A and B are shown apart, each in its own frame.
Chain A
C-alpha cells in the first residue's frame, strides 16, 4: 500500500512538473506549423468511430489517404456532395497536406461546376449552383492557405480560380503576387500577377510600371503576352511615342550580337499589333541578313501589308 501511495504521489508531482513543459512544447510546435490536427466531435462523426480511433492511434495520415481514395470513388460515381464531405474530413485529418486542399478545390470549382454546367437545364439555377461550387473551391483554398501559409501552389490555384471562374482580376493578381513571394514558386506567377493587374480598371498605371519592370529586367521576360499587355497599356495611358517599348527593341537590333533576341522581340511586337515602320524594317533587315526563307518570316496582317511585303 505504501508503495502505491508513494508511486501515485510521484506521478502527481511529475504530472504537475511536466504540465507547463508540455504546454510550452505544444505551443512551440504550433508556432512552427506542426501538429495542426485537432480531434473534434465533427471530425469523429465524419471519420466514423473506427477511423477516428485509428487516427488517434497514430494512423491519421493513413486514414486520410483511405478517405481520399473513397473520394476518388465518389468522383467516379459523380457524387459531388459526398466528395465535399470526404474532402472536408481528409483536410481536417491532414491539414498540412497541400495536395488535399489543392485537388479538393479543383474538384469543386472546376469539375463540380462543369458538371452543373452540363446537366442543369435552368439557366438561373445553373448559375447559382455553379457559383456555389466556385465558392466551395475558394473556401478550400483559403482554409488550405491558413494551414499552409508557405505554399505557393495554393495561392497559384486561388489566382487561377479568381481569374478563370470568378473573373475577379484584382484578386487573381493579388493571389499570384502572394504565390511569387513563397519559396519554390515558379517564375510565371510573377508575370501573371502583373498581367492580371493590367485587366483591372483604374490600376493601369501601376500595371504598366510593373510590366515595364519585367520588360527591363531581362530579354527572357520578352514574351508575347507581355508585349500585348504593354502595347495595350501604352495606347490606353497615351504613353509618349519616344517612351514606347518598340524603341528599345529596335535599338537592341542594332547592337552587335543581340540581333537574334531582338528579332524575337520584333516578331512579338508585330504579332501583338505594332505597325511601326522602324519595327517592320528592322525585322525585315534581320530576315534578309540571316537569309530566312519567306515562309518562316514574320507575317503582317493583310490590311497592313506594304507593296514590299
Chain B
C-alpha cells in the first residue's frame, strides 16, 4: 500500500502552513498575557494606588501652591515610571522562563516560526501594558477630578472674583484635555518601545538580570541622547570634546533610542498643547523602533543555538 502523498495534496499541505499566521501569534500572545496575569504583575497597581492616595493626602496638601499641578506631575510621572519598569521586568523574564521550564522547545518543535514566537511574546506584553495603562489612567482621572473640584473651591474663597473666574476657566479647560490623553498614549507607546528593546536584548542575553540591567541603562542613556546629538551636530561642541568622548557620544546617538522625545508628559502637566502632528511623528518614531527592535531580535534569535 502506497503511503505517498499526491502532488496536489502536498502542495495543499505546504500552502496550509503559512510563514506568518495571526492565529498562531495570537495563541502565543494570549498565553503570554495569561501567564503574566498569573504572575500577579497587577500587584504593582496596589503600589500605584498607594502613591495616588499618598500624594492626595500629603504631598499636594503640603505644597504651598498649585496642588492640582502637583497631583498631575506625580501621577503622570508615576505612570511613566511604572509602565517602563513593568515593560522591562515583564519582558526580560519571558525568554529565560520559557527556556527554563522547556516551554520554548515545545513551542518551537511545532510549526511555529521563531519570528511568530517573538511577535506573540511582544503582543502579550503589549496587552498587559495596555491594561495597566488603562487601569492607572482610570485611577488617575478619579484623583484628578477630585483635586480639580477642590482647587476650584479654594479659588472661589481665596482669590478676587475676576481673577478667580479667569483661573477657574483656565483650570476647567486645561485639565481633561485631548493633549492629556495623547500624553498618556505616548507613555504607553514608550513602554512598548522599552518592551521591544528588552525583548531584543533578551534574544542574545544569557540571564534575565543582564537583560534588565542593560535595558534600564540604555533607557537611562536614552534620556541623554539630545546632548550626544548636539555634540555631533554642533561643530563647536565637537571640537571641544576629546576624540574618544566624541566617538562614544556618536555611538550613543546611533544605537540608543532618544527617550526624551517620548517624554512629553512634563510639558502636558503644565498645560502645554501639543499638536496632533507632533503626536503622529512620535507615534511613527515609536512604531519604527518597535519594528526594528523586533526584527533585530529575530535576527539574534534565529541564529541562536537553543
Contact = CB atoms under 8 A, between A and B. Distances in A.
B233 interface: yes
B36 interface: no
B65 A62 contact: no
Contacts of A32: 274-275, 278
Interface stretch (A15-23, A115-123, A174-182, A230-238): A15-23
B70 to A, nearest CB: 5
Contact of B278 (A12, A29, A98): A29
Contacts of B78: 59, 62
Interface stretch (A33-41, A81-89, A194-202): A33-41
A129 B205 CA distance: 61
A3 B115 CA distance: 13
Interface residue tally on A, bucketed by range: 35 or more
A33 B278 CA distance: 12
A270 to B, nearest CB: 27
Interface residues of B, number: 63
Contacts of B288: 14, 18
A61 interface: yes
A98 B166 CA distance: 16
Contacts, number: 155
B199 to A, nearest CB: 13
A7 B261 contact: no
B15 to A, nearest CB: 28
A23 B229 contact: yes
Contacts of A212: none
Interface in A51-99: 53, 56-62, 64-66, 68-69, 72, 94, 96-99
Interface of B: 59, 62-66, 69-70, 72-74, 76-78, 80-81, 84, 162-163, 166, 170, 200, 204, 219-220, 223-227, 229, 233, 253-255, 258, 260-261, 263-267, 269-270, 272, 274-275, 278, 281-282, 285, 288, 292, 295-297, 299-304
- Sorted nearest first, the 9 A-B pairs with minimum C-beta distance are A3-B303, A15-B254, A61-B73, A58-B80, A62-B77, A56-B223, A59-B77, A7-B299, A7-B296
